[in-house]
Chains A and B, each alone.
Chain A
């Protein structure tokens, strides 16, 4: 346990990814294989079945620290993390437990789950008393399931790949398979012979667009450009190789499991195909707000209910590999032609019989025709416009289409690497803006715990401020401190963690759209509200009204 706590400390004490990877690598090399397997288990974001309820944990921690419940809760509010709060409050302990990590888990943590309450308590208190400092924190984190140490899965992959001496893509692929936190499986992960696996798993580096600042006319002839909607989803590559389908997100993570319908549809692609595109929540004919897509993220198992409630599609806009050949050096117009052909062909092929897959429709791809059944594999349509003016007119309708504007891609350009300026531009629509008054604040969590960073803003309605939006981002660190000090000095009321503040500060809020909403007090919901800037020049009376906001609601046809 001491070695694992050291790893935790090392990861926690640096912001440099190279050092984090080095610490992980050293640990995976040195640690006992069973310990390393458990460490990998937790660092991969896996949990163990919850051994204890939060209520019991708080109760026993408060008892052990000799604190009244209310004081324990005040501390929790200030820290924002239960495991850490408990570690900070427990009395100092003299002894240190010499149990290795895996023994601590198998002898203390796992038995706790099904133990009777007194036994559970005995196990917990004994462990607390035998551990100290950082080890206690790590134990609490394993127990509460929130084992996050600021280590992205990609870093774990990098470190393990280095230890095993294989490519990162290969290790990422191996980790996708089935493994248990055992010495045998850990050994297998490091030494598995998987000839060809690298070719199966490896994605291409994404080509990223730059923000178009001026007018597009500066880009020259409109005919030299391909225009598409700028989708608001998750950038991803769908890879179909050697009979397998993998989905890589731009965050360098394999997200195949989260999107089974795309994976199933991906099986209709010809072997040796790589698509670049966007994962979007989609309903009928229309992309859905990003919030719907968020419901689908980070899931290993997606229930039929989730799939039905938040269906997703992959909107392809580029073809990077065809029949195993890297197409990136070819011009876009050529790749586009291949992409259209491949998707048409795929629509004619039957779905691979994936276990549990339901073949609702064979019309997976409705190219050029009217939309029929929802197809999880679609093409990003190109926008036809004879002039920049005509394109600008289309762009003006972006909000109605739930898109962020227009993408402009030079037709004779190759597929680059990273953010190379010149060939790919995002021509986004300007956000909507309103001036609103800060009316409530709450402490942030994680990185922002113990600072008031979660704000609620109100607009005037009949002489009262009605809450319309919550926003967390957009202020500089210095401004956050100022607002934090303001909140502390101007609290007029408290409801649990919420501070009601004197309505004095005015902020310009930017947002993408306004929708009718029965769930919100104001009857309106704003999309992606964020703080554009502080309006120190305005007094609260000059802020906008609810009527101003209502006027921005889209015309009928506006999807939910």
Chain B
């Protein structure tokens, strides 16, 4: 029996009697972040980072019991010390550090190593065993600096304005949408967001994240041909989107690194902007933890494990039900 094990309900710490991101309802769920494949409804109590409270409540409902910790803060259950550390994935995302009798495990949740405006930057945490995601665990995934990506997005937006059509940028409603909002040049034109994005904005404001003004969608016609629309991909083909008239469509996601991923969705543009670590980021983070053993979850687990083994790590695949970043569907991953 190791400190954390995969059980039918999720990743479980038997000594401390708690789960990390369980996929079934449990008594005590330590929650890395508010995306639905990690934070599922129904558990009696959730423990999350302080800055996650607002978005978590938005997702799970107001009556849910949520306890929080500041980053670096610690609680103890049956002698197991639990602390949360920035994962840099989205607002309030955390890595979970678990320590028992000197043995330290860290669960990365989803994470990225590029710093950005909407969440606290990733901090590597020293540990013996590191449980890491591997969504983009292939060397074809190497992110360009985010400033370059935003310059591309801005140029595309300006180009569309010149052609008098709306720029529609599909992005996950929690996390990516706000990161895009914070990153684009809002002086170019009016910005519209879908309701699924809008309802999360107050929580970002409360967390001190500065975001540009949003136009009411009712003025879409008046501002036709000039605006940027940020919405989850599920609105494609719906009346909600049709109100904007002629559009150019793009998707902001790490999957857009590969041409085929964009072309099969008949998108005009794809911007490889990801909230996950790229290949180099994964390797560097694993190295920085000092872990001797690495357990790899959702994504290209098999590939990363083999690479780690060939390079001197003890590594294994850990079968979980996390999804990471859905390559299509263009909204955040659903529980699989």
Write the residues of chain A forming the contact surface with B, with a CB cutoff of 8 angstroms: 12-15, 65, 67-68, 70-71, 74-75, 78-81, 84-85, 88-89, 150, 444-451, 477-478, 480-481, 484-485, 488-489
> Residue of A at shortest CB range from B258?
A79
**Residues of chain B at interface, number, CB under 8 A:** 29
Contact A71 B261 (CB under 8 A): no
Contact A65 B258 (CB under 8 A): no
Q: Which chain A residues lie closer than 8 Å to B190 at the CB level?
A: none
Query: Of B264, B306, B336, which is within 8 A of A448 by CB?
Result: B264
> Residue of A at shortest CB range from B263?
A447
Q: A65-B139, A68-B310, A78-B258 are in contact. Are A485 and B323 (CB under 8 A)?
A: yes
9 inter-chain pairs at a CB distance below 8 angstroms, sorted by A residue, are A67-B139, A79-B260, A80-B260, A84-B258, A84-B259, A150-B263, A445-B260, A450-B327, A481-B326
Contact B259 A450 (CB under 8 A): no
Kindly list 13 other residue pairs between chains A and B, CB separation below 8 angstroms, not including A84-B259, A451-B328: A15-B266, A67-B139, A75-B138, A79-B258, A81-B259, A84-B260, A88-B257, A445-B260, A449-B258, A450-B327, A477-B265, A478-B329, A484-B327
Contact A477 B328 (CB under 8 A): yes
In the assembled complex, the Cα of A444 lies from the Cα of B260 at a distance in Å of 10
User: B128 on the interface (CB 8 Å rule)?
Assistant: no
User: B268 on the interface (CB 8 Å rule)?
Assistant: yes
Q: Mark B298-316, 1 if CB is under 8 A from A, else 0.
A: 0010010011001000000
Query: Of B258, B261, B263, B328, which is within 8 A of A481 by CB?
Result: B328
Smallest Cβ distance from B257 to chain A, in angstroms? 7
Q: Which chain A residues lie closer than 8 Å to B257 at the CB level?
A: 88
Q: A13-B269, A477-B328 are in contact. Are A74 and B260 (CB under 8 A)?
A: no
Contact residues of B: prevailing secondary structure: loop
User: B162 on the interface (CB 8 Å rule)?
Assistant: no
Q: A446-B263, A481-B326 are in contact. Are A71 and B307 (CB under 8 A)?
A: yes
Query: Of A12, A68, A447, A485, which is within 8 A of B264 by CB?
Result: A447
In the assembled complex, the Cα of A66 lies from the Cα of B143 at a distance in Å of 18
> Residue of A at shortest CB range from B329?
A481
Q: Which chain B residues lie closer than 8 Å to A74 at the CB level?
A: 138, 300, 303
Contact B140 A15 (CB under 8 A): no
Smallest Cβ distance from A14 to chain B, in angstroms? 6
> Residue of A at shortest CB range from B310?
A68
Q: Which chain B residues lie closer than 8 Å to A478 at the CB level?
A: 329
9 closest A-B pairs by CB: A449-B260, A447-B264, A88-B140, A75-B140, A481-B329, A447-B263, A485-B336, A448-B264, A74-B303
In the assembled complex, the Cα of A484 lies from the Cα of B265 at a distance in Å of 15
Contact B258 A89 (CB under 8 A): no
Write the residues of chain B forming the contact surface with A, with a CB cutoff of 8 angstroms: 138-140, 142, 255, 257-261, 263-269, 300, 303, 306-307, 310, 321, 323, 326-329, 336
Contact B140 A78 (CB under 8 A): yes
Smallest Cβ distance from A383 to chain B, in angstroms? 41
In the assembled complex, the Cα of A484 lies from the Cα of B326 at a distance in Å of 10
Contact B139 A450 (CB under 8 A): no
Contact A12 B259 (CB under 8 A): yes
Contact A85 B140 (CB under 8 A): yes
In the assembled complex, the Cα of A451 lies from the Cα of B265 at a distance in Å of 12
Contact A13 B268 (CB under 8 A): yes
In the assembled complex, the Cα of A485 lies from the Cα of B321 at a distance in Å of 11
Q: Which chain A residues lie closer than 8 Å to B307 at the CB level?
A: 71
Q: Which chain A residues lie closer than 8 Å to B260 at the CB level?
A: 79-81, 84, 445-450
In the assembled complex, the Cα of A264 lies from the Cα of B326 at a distance in Å of 54
Contact A489 B328 (CB under 8 A): no
Smallest Cβ distance from B322 to chain A, in angstroms? 11
Q: Which of A12, A445, A450, A451 has the most CB of B within 10 A?
A: A450
Smallest Cβ distance from A443 to chain B, in angstroms? 10
> Residue of B at shortest CB range from A490?
B336
Q: Which chain B residues lie closer than 8 Å to A88 at the CB level?
A: 140, 142, 257-258
Q: Which chain B residues lie closer than 8 Å to A12 at the CB level?
A: 259
> Residue of B at shortest CB range from A150?
B263
Contact A79 B265 (CB under 8 A): no
In the assembled complex, the Cα of A71 lies from the Cα of B264 at a distance in Å of 25
Q: Which chain A residues lie closer than 8 Å to B267 at the CB level?
A: 15
In the assembled complex, the Cα of A85 lies from the Cα of B255 at a distance in Å of 14
Smallest Cβ distance from A330 to chain B, in angstroms? 42
Q: Which chain A residues lie closer than 8 Å to B323 at the CB level?
A: 485
> Residue of B at shortest CB range from A70?
B306
Contact A451 B268 (CB under 8 A): no
Q: Which chain A residues lie closer than 8 Å to B269 at the CB level?
A: 13
Q: Which chain B residues lie closer than 8 Å to A65 at the CB level?
A: 139
In the assembled complex, the Cα of A444 lies from the Cα of B264 at a distance in Å of 10
Smallest Cβ distance from B124 to chain A, in angstroms? 24
Q: Which chain A residues lie closer than 8 Å to B329 at the CB level?
A: 478, 481
> Residue of B at shortest CB range from A78?
B138
> Residue of B at shortest CB range from A485?
B336
Q: Which of B140, B261, B265, B268 has the most CB of A within 10 A?
A: B140
Smallest Cβ distance from B262 to chain A, in angstroms? 9
Q: Which chain B residues lie closer than 8 Å to A70 at the CB level?
A: 306
> Residue of B at shortest CB range from A447?
B264
In the assembled complex, the Cα of A450 lies from the Cα of B329 at a distance in Å of 14
Q: A14-B268, A81-B260, A88-B257 are in contact. Are A75 and B139 (CB under 8 A)?
A: yes
